[in-house]
Structure 1
Amino acid sequence: MTPGTASIAMATAEPTAGLDEALAHATRLLETQPALAGEQAREIITAVGEHPMAVLILAVSHRLQGQLPPALEALRPLVASQPNWALAHYELGIALGLAGDTAGAIAALRRAVWLKPGLPQAWRALGDQLAAAGELDAADEAYASHVRFSTRDPRLLAAASALHANELPRAEALLREHLAAAPTDVAALRMMAELAARIGRQEDAERLLERCLELAPGFLAARQNYALVLHRGNKPREALAQIDTLLATDPRNPNYRNLKAVVLCRTGDYEQAIALYDGILHEHPGQSKIWLSQGHALKTAGHTERAIAAYRRSLAVDPSCGEVWWSLANLKTFKFSDEDVAAMQAQLARPGLSPEDVQHLHFALGKALEDRADYAASFGHYDQGNTLRRAQLHYSADDTTARVEKIERTYTPAFFAARAGAGAAAPDPIFVLGLPRAGSTLVEQILSSHSAVEGTMELPEVISITRELRKLGDAGQSLPYHDVLASLDPARLRELGEQYLEHTRIQRKTGAPFFIDKMPNNFMHIGLIHLMLPNARIIDARRHPLACCFSGFKQHFARGQAFTYSLADIGRYYADYVRLMAHYDAVLPGRVHRVFYESMVDDTETEVRRLLDYCGLPFEDGCLRFFENKRPVRTASSEQVRQPIYRDGVDHWRHFEPWLEPLKDALGPVLTAYPDVPNFR
């Protein structure tokens, strides 16, 4: 049935008199002949007056014929006169959503499900509107409620309730039992896929949704879930194919368009994403989260002024959104006004702010006060933001040290000698790695200004491969991926290299023979990189430990980098990184080229020539004019690398030196030896 008609049909079932029979007949007509249903509703109204059900049928008739103004004209007084009628609020929400009033639709649908929680269509519609507004967590809850109320089977209802309450073991047991008896129940398959995604079983989630869509290709909610699972599983090409299928059924659906824009940003197609955001915001201008997403895309694509304007529009809708304030600060070259600082302080003083908003506001105020040279107050805000963020994470510096020790034991000269000649021969990738905020974006910008090199972004493919390798060791025991890697033959190592090249191809937009993967954390995976891509270049971007670590401490990362929210943690992480790189220098001499940020600032041309020589590339003047490169840059340094090199940032950390003793203690001899390396043996 068309949305809305099923609920009306249930409400008018089993007529008992002439009026009820006429209403039921009009309701049945809605499915196939909405105009005729409207005519019958008018006849009923003429005969008996403004009967609520007749008015509702008339409004649905208008809506089904695409006549939104008369539908809304009928529905608004109806909900005013029938404030506790869930179906009326539901229909108003559907019509408002179609008219582009997302906020009004959300309010009406929330009222509908509050009045009648067991109305599954209303939960689904509410989820769609929340997702279109960028409220993805709330949308997920609404979709979960849709699943919860979409069946009368007591067993499936119990499983849905457990899933909704995040009681995952109980939900899994109930779903497995139900699917054993009813293996083609697509609602149960979709629920099981959601459960698998929550607990990190990516392949299971994909397989279940594939089966769901085999059985019910028109199950759009499952297809949308599938696209999202593929996106989160680093399969953007496949995700886009599913989204395009959804858009073929509903080209104006803002939720589908928003998801496509998100995936396009992952693939580096920012101008297409920006165009999609433009369209969504033209129709739904009151969406703070969509303005924020558009601002991110504009910033990355180099449209700085438009990005600032988008962030400002987001704040106009939701001035308490800390992420937007931090996004302005994260432009690095942006300066807050006195009015901005006062607004942030006022928001921070408000009761009831979410922990995420509070954290972001502290980081943003830290940047604003740092620009005003109020370093004590600035550090206070940075410290509070980091303390709050650190409390949410489960990071162990001891675990990182243990990982480094495991790598040192595994990757020895004999280990590499035994596997010489393995891997894919292609020299295409240039890996730029190190710690975040160490100057890797500058190195990437310089290299990508060469005619033979394309800059992409921080690609997740190496990390995805490590996850795949871990799964190979799950037969009865949990093995580090390094142990699994050690068991692979040369043919399999070559396959891994070819897999990396194939999966990253979507990021390559030009015909340049070389491309850059700038994921900083790949320094932990140099052994894997060398084995699967022995001819790839590896560049270590290194910066003074206090400058690098404190810059990381000032940064609120969108995800990952859990070691940066404590001065002691980040100091130990830097020391472990230096130790690991020293190990690879010893076991693979000359394999890694090192760029010191301070040397690049002091003598740019000499360092650029050394860098190009290592990459086997001829010198080009464009590499010295890197700041003219208009490519997208998706890091916190995006605005800084669009300017000539300046020395001011090299020693900026000294303004905060009175508060950096925990960092100095954690760094130990790595600090005093810099730029040399202490003896770790």
Structure 2
Amino acid sequence: MAVATGSLDQALTHASRLLAREPALAEAQADEILRVVPGHPPALQLLAAARAAQGKLDTALAVLEPLAASQPRWAAVQFEFGLALARAGRRDEAIAALRRAVTMQADLPQAWRVLADQLRATGDIAGAEAACMEHVRHAAADPRLLAAGAALAENRIPEAEGLLRQHLREAPTDVAAIRMFAELAARLDRTDEARQLLERCLELAPGFHGARQNYALLLHRANLPERALTEIERLLAAEPDHPAHRNLKAVVLCRTGDYRTAIDLYAGLLDEHPDNASAWMSYGHALKTAGLTDRAIEAYRRALGLMPSFGEVWWSLANLKTFRFSGEDVAAMRAQLARIDLADADRLHLDFALGKALEDAGEYAASFRHYEAGNARRRGQLHYDPSETHARIEHIVRQYTPEFFARRAGSGSPARDPIFVVGLPRAGSTLIEQILSSHSQVEGTMELPEITLITRLLREQADVDSAMPYHDALARLDAGKLRELGERYLAHTRIQRKTPAPFFIDKMPNNFMHIGLIHLMLPNAIVIDARRHPMACCFSGFKQHFARGQSFSYRLDDLARYYTDYVRLMAHFDRVLPGRVHRVIYERMVEDTEGEVRRLLAHCGLPFEGACLRFFENARPVRTASSEQVRRPIYREGVDQWRHYAPWLGPLEQGLGEVLRAYPVVPE
């Protein structure tokens, strides 16, 4: 395109567009403009930028030095000059030019970034950090980051990733872009990558509080609460009144069981921000877990007063189990469900909550319709394949044989501290935990995620083409490595222990899948299997909306297959590790509480204590859906509650087959 065929402005615009993808053509275009209009400053700037993009630093500087001298108040030229000087290794001159650029025009984020890099290279760490924070402050003005941010906000993930990768190739120290890329990686469950990106971000910009907040949240989600609290304390040291930092601290403290401190933090936040419905809900969760039910209900009501469509709060009230909705509550929930603009998440939670309200009112057909609708909506959001679970069970049965364990006898940590309570959700595991934790030598903690984290660690160590990576990696570990895993488990769960009791409970039900791992790394740990009537257990799971996990629980036939696979797996371990697992049948516990409690304590090697029969007096925090139920004596009503729904449970009954007919015996 010759200048003669269009205006000068059009020629410059065309050359600018070429600069990013075809710098040689941009250089040719700038030369053509300068042939027609010699000495034209914008064309000279473009020519220098095109040469620099091709690595022609000497010829670029030959243009920029006289241009910068003749245009001392032109910030963009000073930035271009500073950038070229930096690339040429002329650091002091680069710093001077970059300082001139940002003094004249502060909203040049990449000028601040390059200035930070140059100052860091000279050893001026304080100056580098100050420049870096100016870069962060003005990053919103960068059109490339704006485009990437818009793509991320609209969930156009591949586009956002492409834009960020390209930008970081050109500007690898752009901490705003690194933080954005970390957010993208976290969304895709590339947790380790996200963590490494944020660590790099904070290495470059220790004062980047937004990135540190993200890092602390990521550590919390990775079940590293001690490290998360360290980062949060650094944030609070710099910004003691910052509501997001205080809120995150409360969240992490709830994870570590420090509910009283968390409750105080939430109360302080709500004094300052009383119109935050989400904060009222979080406050309610903490109060509920601490056993302060009336205050929890009041907090949930405050949240609904601010946001009547807040489905998760309606479900939180239903999830108290002992709470009963009023007629006005039912009408309010129905009114919200009738809205065409109701968000899917709110609709899902409201269906589960209304199902519970109608169940309490004895309207079982209508109740089931709402449970069914909530489950169908949730099932549509998940990617659960029951055949994958079945294949995993079959692999475990084949791998973990008596010979497999015999070859590894004597491995693992000798510690006896943990008591693992496993089984299916809603099978009575919280009741067992409450009974055991009422003993003077046992501390109740929570559903600890550490076993799952260890399986992920093993999965990362396996061959990339392994069909069952975690199990294959575990099979290759020697006695020393198995002991290390046991010691790791004890170290990582220590933060949950608040008393000197010699035993503690890990009540993660899904750990029944990992009996082999538990036995190998902690051979002296106690394992209790909580089992409940298949129809009662499965239907109780069907009407429970779980915060996370339990993807099998949202369809009746999936529940039947999962329960059947669970029974098969536990029967296998009964055969290959006889006596290793003590089974508690829920219905027997209801009928003969003292006898079952005595047998349970004897298996754990604990003397009988009467407090274990008065478990409902135990004021310890309880985090599961049964938190209110275990604060009262054992009652029979829950045993046969599922029978009200029998007309609609055909797929469940049929899928359970012989496992149901033989219960509590295990079929051959």
Q: TM-score, normalised by structure 1?
A: 0.77
* 2:577 is equivalent to residue 591 of structure 1: no
Report the AA paired with residue 676 of structure 1: V
SS in 2 for 1:528: helix
Distance 1:507 1:595 in 2: 25
Q: 1:385 to 1:173 in 2, by over 3 A?
A: closer
Q: How far, CA to CA, are the matches of 1:354 and 1:204 in structure 2?
A: 32
**Of 174, 177, 183, which aligns to 1:194?**
183
Tell me, yes or no, if structure 1 residue 275 matches structure 2 residue 264. yes
RMSD of aligned C-alpha atoms? 1.9
Secondary structure of the corresponding residue to residue 315 of structure 2: helix
CA distance in 1: counterparts of 2:478 and 2:495, whole angstroms: 28
Write the distance in 2 (CA, Å) between the matches of 1:119 and 1:610.
72
Question: Which digits, 9 at most, give the CA deviation of each residue in 1:70-100, with x for residues without a partner?
Answer: xxxxxxxxxxxxxxxxxxxxxxxxxxxxxxx
Matches within 5 A, 1:420-499: 420-475=409-464, 479-499=468-488
Answer yes or no: is 1:525 the counterpart of 2:514.
yes
Structure 1: stretches of 5+ with no match in the other structure: 1-117, 121-145
- Which position in structure 2 is the counterpart of 1:306? 295
Q: Aligned residue for 2:82?
A: none
Q: Tell me which residue corresponds to 1:651.
A: 640
Q: Matches of 1:522 and 1:148 in 2, distance apart?
A: 46
Letter in 1 for 2:507: K
Question: Residue 434 of structure 1 aligns to which amino acid in structure 2?
Answer: G
Is the contact between residue 149 and residue 157 of structure 1 (CA under 8 Å) also seen in structure 2? no
SS at structure 2 position matched to 1:504: helix
Contact 1:148 1:161 in 2 (8 A): no
Q: Provide the residue aligned with 2:216 in structure 1.
A: 227
What is aligned with 1:630? 619
Give the length in aligned residue pairs: 537
Structure 1 position 254 matched with structure 2 position 243: yes
1:165, distance to aligned residue in structure 2 (A)? 4.0
Q: Distance in 2 between matches of 1:406 and 1:636?
A: 32
Match of 1:446, as an amino acid? I
Tell me if 1:286 matches 2:272.
no
- Provide the residue aligned with 1:561 in structure 2: 550
Kindly provide the amino acid, as one letter, of the partner of residue 646 in structure 1. Y
SS, match of residue 563 in structure 1: helix
Work out the CA distance in 1 between the residues paired with 2:298 and 2:583. Answer: 39
Measure the CA separation in 1 of the matches of 2:153 and 2:320: 38
Range with bigger deviation, 605-614 or 180-189: 180-189
Give yes or no for the alignment of 1:381 onto 2:357: no
The equivalent of 2:324 in structure 1 is: 335
Residue 341 of structure 1 deviates from its aligned partner by 1.1
Aligned-residue sequence identity (percent) comes to 71
Task: Describe the superposition over 1:1-22 as per-residue Cα deviations: whole angstroms up to 9, x where unpaired.
Answer: xxxxxxxxxxxxxxxxxxxxxx
Task: Encode CA deviations 1:595-616: one digit per residue, 9 max, x unaligned.
Answer: 0000001001110011001101
Correspondence 1:316 to 2:316: no
Q: Could you say if the C-alpha distance between residues 374 and 166 of structure 1 is closer, same or farther in structure 2, counting changes exceeding 3 Å?
A: closer
- Does the residue aligned with 1:646 lie in a helix, a strand or coil? coil
Structure 2: tracts of 5 or more residues without a match: 1-106, 110-134
* Aligned partners of 2:419 and 2:525 also within 8 Å: yes
Paired with 1:407 and 1:373, the residues of 2 have a C-alpha distance of 43
Cα distance in 2 for residues equivalent to 1:418 and 1:382: 48
Q: Could you say which residue in structure 1 is the equivalent of 2:391? A: 402
Instruction: Return the letter of the residue paired with 1:287.
Output: N
User: 1:387–1:238: structure 2 CA closer, same or farther, 3 Å change rule?
Assistant: same
For the residue of structure 2 that corresponds to 1:534, the secondary structure is coil
Q: Greater Rg, structure 1 or structure 2?
A: 2
The 1:119–1:285 alpha-carbon spacing in structure 2 relative to 1, beyond 3 Å, is farther
Residue 193 of structure 2 corresponds to 204
Q: 1:155 to 1:348 in 2, by over 3 A?
A: closer
Would you say the 8 A contact 1:148–1:164 is kept in 2? no
Change (3 A) 1:546 1:119: farther
The answer to whether residue 499 in structure 2 is matched with residue 510 in structure 1 is yes
- Give 2:202's aligned residue: 213
Aligned residue identity for 1:218 = G
What is the match of residue 68 of structure 1?
A: none
Shift of 1:172: 3.6
1:186 Cα offset (Å): 1.4
Alignment pair present for 1:241 and 2:221: no
Shift of 1:183: 2.9
Alpha-carbon distance between aligned partners in 2 of 1:348 and 1:199, rounded to the nearest angstrom = 31
Amino acid of the structure 1 residue aligned with 2:646: E
Check whether the contact 1:148–1:157 (CA below 8 A) recurs between aligned residues.
no
- Counterpart position of 2:379: 390
Quote the offset at 1:185 in angstroms.
2.1
Q: Which residue of 1 aligns with 2:50?
A: none
What's the TM-score, normalizing by structure 2? 0.78
Residues 286-295 or 345-354, more deviating = 345-354
- Inter-partner Cα distance in structure 2 for 1:345 and 1:162: 36
2:157 equivalent among 168, 174, 177: 168
Question: Per-residue deviation at 1:310?
Answer: 0.4
Matches of 1:534 and 1:671, distance apart in 2: 32
Judging changes above 3 Å, is the alpha-carbon distance between structure 1 residues 171 and 374 closer, same or farther for their aligned structure 2 residues?
Answer: closer
Give distance in 2, aligned partners of 1:445 and 1:410: 34
2: CA distance between counterparts of 1:171 and 1:392?
23
d(CA) in 2 for partners of 1:287, 1:225: 21
How far is the alpha carbon of 1:178 from its aligned partner? Answer: 3.7
In the alignment, is the contact (CA less than 8 A) between 1:434 and 1:520 conserved in 2? yes
Any residues of structure 2 matched to 1:124-139 within 5 Å, and which?
none
What is the rounded CA distance, in whole Å, between the counterparts of 1:164 and 1:334 in structure 2?
A: 38
Shift, 1:157, TM fit? 5.0
Q: Secondary structure at the match of 1:634?
A: coil
Q: Give the corresponding residue for 1:369.
A: 358
Shift of 1:523: 0.4
Residue aligning to 1:69? none
Shift of 1:211: 1.6
Deviation at 1:194, TM superposition (A): 1.8
Q: Which residue, 288, 295, 298 being the options, matches 2:284?
A: 295
Residue 349 (structure 1) shift: 1.1
Q: What is the DSSP-based 3-state SS (H/G/I as helix, E as strand, rest coil) of the residue aligned with 1:540?
A: strand
Aligned amino acid, residue 457 of structure 1: M
Gap change, CA 1:176 and 1:474, over 3 Å in 2: farther
- Per the TM alignment, residue 471 of structure 1 is displaced from its structure 2 partner at its CA by 0.8
Secondary structure class of the residue paired with 2:183 = helix
Provide closer, same or farther for how the CA distance between residues 288 and 164 of structure 1 changes in structure 2, counting only shifts above 3 A. closer
3-state SS in 1 of match to 2:164: helix
Report SS of the residue matched to 1:340: helix
For the Cα contact (< 8 Å) 2:382–2:551, is it kept in 1? Answer: yes
The aligned residue for residue 265 of structure 1 is 254
Q: Please, which of 599, 604, 610 is the counterpart of residue 615 of structure 1? A: 604
1:476–1:185 CA distance, 2 compared to 1 (3 A): farther
Cα offset, 1:353, TM superposition:
0.5
Q: Deviation per CA, 1:185-225: give whole Å up to 9, x if none.
A: 21222122222212222222212211211111111111111
Task: Give 1:478 shift.
Answer: 6.1
* CA distance 1:534–1:347, change in 2 (3 Å): same
C-alpha distance in 2 between matches for 1:658 and 1:535: 46
**1:244/1:394 CA distance change after superposition, 3 Å:** same
Query: Could you tell me how far 1:462 is from its partner in structure 2?
Result: 0.3
Q: Distance in 1 between matches of 2:164 and 2:578?
A: 55
Distance in structure 1 (CA, Å) of the matches to 2:297 and 2:176:
43
3-state DSSP of counterpart to 1:451: coil
Distance 1:152 1:378, change over 3 A: closer
Partner Cα distance (1:156, 1:345) in 2: 44
Residues 466, 472 of structure 2: 8 Å contact kept: no
Of 588, 594, 605, the residue aligned with 2:594 is 605
